[in-house]
């Protein structure tokens, strides 16, 4: 019995020794800190610039059918991935009858997204610094003494700045097709003395990404149809009833990285006489056959625009 007891004791001792040796051979556990969680900033900034052969706003040239340059800067704050606040400032070179040479836009709003439906609500201010009061050649009584006059009889206020509130909606059906609409309302459109509404529908077809192989060039086809409601002006513009009108455009665009080349046809159903009444065109010419002054700022036009757009987050 004693021998058996010694043998068992020996086996236990050998087992403990072997176990201790095996434990000693194992590498020591190393406790590492968890990798830091990447923090995505809710802030972003979009900015860009463009040049076009004709700056057209709702079917009417703002640059006397000449070239125009523009730029914008738009900070954004993403409350959630589906809710964004934004504000921005933009500028365009123009050519107005009152000699304003720049349009400065200040705007802000909110963009909620619900799946495929993207909404946009905000306020947009259109400022036209540097304007002068241009008087009627026939009367010369609406501007302060010494104001310039136009031989074609048109006149324009010194300040035609105004603002609009707006709502936009875009539904993206798939990677290729999107349909949208917008409504803009101003309590004093272009400082004419009446409130005005503009409503439009638009559509965009984006070509498959491999249309041009692996070149990285993309393409799209888009169009818009809109209606501008106007009204009767104040006494400065002789209480003139300005007609409502329709406007439309259709075009094709090509994209490469941050660049977009947009080629577009734009037109309205305004007569040349109505166009002159709305714009006070300083280049309006007298038509001897109709006995009226006519403007070409609202007619059919081809628009070529090259732009570059980027966000800070895309540059990181």
pLDDT digit string, tens, across residues 40-82: 899 999 999 999 999 999 999 999 999 999 999 999 999 999 9
Selection from 168, 164, 68 nearest residue 123 by Cα: 164
User: How many angstroms from the chain centroid is the CA of residue 83?
Assistant: 17
pLDDT 10s digits, 188-243? 999 999 999 999 999 999 999 999 999 999 999 999 999 999 999 999 999 999 99
Instruction: Average the pLDDT over 250-268 and give the result.
Output: 98
Measured distance CA(123)–CA(15) in Å, rounded:
83
* pLDDT for the residue 40: 80
- How would residue 38 be classed by pLDDT, with cut points 50, 70 and 90? low
User: How many angstroms from the chain centroid is the CA of residue 131?
Assistant: 25
Measured distance CA(3)–CA(305) in Å, rounded:
103
Instruction: Average the pLDDT over 23-38 and give the result.
Output: 55
> 92: how many CB neighbours lie within 10 A of its CB?
20
CATH 2.40.230.20 fits 42-315, yes or no: yes
How many Cα atoms sit within 13 Å of 312 on the Cβ side?
Answer: 11
* pLDDT for the residue 23: 42
Q: Where are the domains of the chain?
A: 42-315
DSSP H/E element including 23:
helix 2-25
Measured distance CA(137)–CA(139) in Å, rounded:
6
């Amino acid at each position: 019995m004693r021998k058996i007891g010694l043998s068992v004791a020996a086996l236990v001792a050998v087992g403990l020794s072997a176990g201790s040796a095996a434990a000693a051979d194992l590498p020591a556990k190393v406790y590492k800190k968890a990798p830091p969680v990447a923090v995505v900033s809710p802030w972003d900034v979009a900015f860009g610039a463009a040049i076009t052969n004709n700056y057209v706003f709702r079917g009417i040239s703002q640059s006397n059918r000449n070239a125009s340059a523009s730029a914008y800067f738009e900070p954004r704050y993403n409350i959630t991935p589906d809710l964004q606040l934004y504000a921005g400032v933009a500028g365009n070179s123009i050519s107005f009858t009152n000699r304003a040479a720049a349009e400065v836009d200040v705007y802000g709003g909110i963009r909620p997204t619900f799946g495929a439906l993207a909404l946009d609500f905000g306020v947009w201010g259109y400022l036209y610094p540097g304007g002068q009061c241009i008087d009627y050649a026939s009367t010369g009584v609406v501007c302060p003494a010494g104001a310039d006059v136009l031989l074609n009889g048109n006149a324009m206020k010194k300040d035609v700045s105004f603002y609009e509130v707006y709502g936009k909606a875009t539904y993206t059906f798939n990677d290729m097709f999107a349909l949208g609409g917008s409504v803009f309302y101003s309590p004093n459109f272009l400082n004419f003395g009446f409130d005005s509404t503009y409503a439009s529908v638009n559509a965009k077809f984006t070509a498959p990404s491999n249309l041009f192989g692996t070149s990285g060039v993309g393409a799209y086809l888009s169009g818009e149809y809109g209606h501008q409601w106007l009204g009767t002006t104040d006494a400065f513009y002789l209480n003139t009833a300005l007609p409502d009108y329709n406007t439309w455009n259709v075009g094709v665009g090509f994209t490469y990285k941050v660049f977009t080349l947009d080629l577009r046809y734009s037109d309205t159903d305004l007569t040349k006489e109505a166009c002159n009444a709305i714009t006070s065109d300083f280049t309006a010419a007298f038509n001897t056959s109709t006995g009226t002054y006519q403007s070409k700022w609202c007619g059919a036009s081809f628009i070529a625009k090259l732009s570059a757009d980027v966000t800070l987050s895309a540059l990181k």
